[in-house]
Amino acid sequence: MTKHRKKFVRPFLENLEGRTVPAGIYAVGAPAGALPLVNVYQTGNPTPILTIQAYDNNFLGGVRVATGDINNDGTDDIFTIAGPGGGPHVKIFNGVNGQVLHEFMAYDPAYRGSGFLASGDLDNDGHDDLVIGTDIGGGPHVKVINGSDFSEDFSYFAYNPTFRGGVRVSVGQVDADPALEIITAAGPGGAPHVQVYDSQSKSYEQSYFAYDRSFMNGIYIATGDTDGDGRDEIITGAGQGGGPHVKYHDLIDDRDEASYFAYAPSLTSGVYVASASSSFRIGYDDVITAPASLGSGNIRVYDDHGDLHEEFFDHQDDGDSSNDNDGPDSDFRINDGLRGTNGVGGLGGDGGHD
């Protein structure tokens, strides 16, 4: 549906010295070992517009993120889930002021494996809804939380219920029918099999292999309209063990529109992907990447051709002493969030639609 594409992040427009192009927002979560902070950025601006402390000071498991306008006020809000070790603690922060709007346990509190988040208005009521997937150790259980009342709308197993590699999630408009799709990819141990699930019919529509079928290390996933034709591409990044290979896939044409290495080919930590409205072209989403590794908060922003447009280091304090400003943390992480509006979470963006 096109409706979700028409919501721009108005509040930020006014802050931007007369620019008329709506910048998208995305969030970057702390890596394991760092204070549990989330930095929120706009495309085209390497200075965070908001920083949130998502969990207690003593939780150093990292933060996974996504963004979406859950309270329907025109500004993307920030979704977080505690990193591995923290329990499935989901929090929703108001994107205007960072205040907590809601929090809950997404799965059995005894589950410590964290998860992945995405957002989009699946029932078309104006409130972006939250989609949650598990990380390593959890079954591939996808849950949809209604943005208007925080109730669970539905859930399903994206892969064999006995699979324990987790499921990465995204939300987008990737085909010709008006309903939004939930797009999933398996974590480590699963093939690079992308599944497209229709949020209205509650059934699988299509699937494809994003990389060679023998690549079993998991892939990261996002959704965004990189070529500005009104339909989202499925954006993937290879997991640990592969090169930092990013692809944009058009589902209807069944072809890759871009395929490139987001970092040096020797980087094998995996690459998180997210998307957010471009800061320089109306109607296009850019792709945000971050190494899924300790040691680098090297954020990069790419266009539809895979050309680099922006690069900076996300500062995440390393927790060695509070706010010591000692530079980019040694271990930063982005959510691979998924978007609803785009999220980079560890990198979560508003892939479109804020």
> What gap in Å lies between CA 6 and CA 43, rounded to an integer?
17
By beta-carbon proximity to Ca ion, the closer residue of 17 and 149 is 149
* H-only helix segments in 101-250: none
* Cβ neighbourhood burial of 66 (10 Å; 0-12, 13-18, 19+): buried
- From the list 64-72, 263-271, 300-308, 341-349, the region that binds Ca ion by CB under 5 A is 64-72
- Which pair of tokens denotes residue 176? 């010709």
> What gap in Å lies between CA 271 and CA 242, rounded to an integer?
9
Residues contacting residue 255 through CB under 8 Å, at least 6 positions apart: 249
Which x/- pattern over 157-176 shows residues binding Ca ion (rule: CB under 5 A)?
A: ------------------x-
> What gap in Å lies between CA 195 and CA 205, rounded to an integer?
8
Give min distance, CB of 278 to Ca ion, in A. Answer: 12
Instruction: Give the other-Cβ count within 10 Å of 135's Cβ.
Output: 23
- Which pair of tokens denotes residue 301? 């922003």
- Which pair of tokens denotes residue 193? 């099999």
130-149 residues in contact with Ca ion (CB under 5 A) are 147
Give min distance, CB of 321 to Ca ion, in A. Answer: 34
Residues that bind Ca ion (rule: CB under 5 A) add up to a total of: 19
Which x/- pattern over 259-298 shows residues binding Ca ion (rule: CB under 5 A)?
A: ----------------------------------------
Residues contacting residue 15 through CB under 8 Å, at least 6 positions apart: none
- From the list 3-11, 105-113, 129-137, 264-272, the region that binds Ca ion by CB under 5 A is 129-137
31 binds Ca ion (CB under 5 A): no
Q: Can you tell me which of 108, 125, 307, 326 binds Ca ion, judged by CB under 5 A?
A: 125
Give min distance, CB of 332 to Ca ion, in A. Answer: 26
121 binds Ca ion (CB under 5 A): yes
Residue whose token pair is 């064999």:
160
By beta-carbon proximity to Ca ion, the closer residue of 50 and 267 is 50
340 binds Ca ion (CB under 5 A): no
Residues near Ca ion (CB under 5 A) are 69, 71, 73, 75, 77, 95, 121, 123, 125, 127, 129, 147, 175, 177, 179, 225, 227, 229, 231
